Amino acid sequence: MNALKIIFINLFFMLFHAQVSGQAFKLEELAGFNRLDMAAFKTEIKKHQYKYYDKTESPAFVLYEYESPDYTYKIGKFEYTEEKSEDRIEFSFKDKKDHDIYLKAVLGAGYKQTEKGKIITGETYVDYFRNKSQIRIVMPATEQDNYTILVFK
Average pLDDT in the 68-90 region? 92
Q: Percentage of the chain surpassing pLDDT 70?
A: 85
Long-range contacts of 92-99 (CB under 8 A, 24+ apart): 92/146, 92/147, 92/148, 92/149, 93/24, 93/146, 93/147, 94/140, 94/146, 94/147, 95/147, 96/147, 98/24, 98/147, 99/137, 99/139, 99/147
Range of the domain at 41: 2-152
Structural domains of the chain, count: 1
Average pLDDT in the 71-78 region? 95
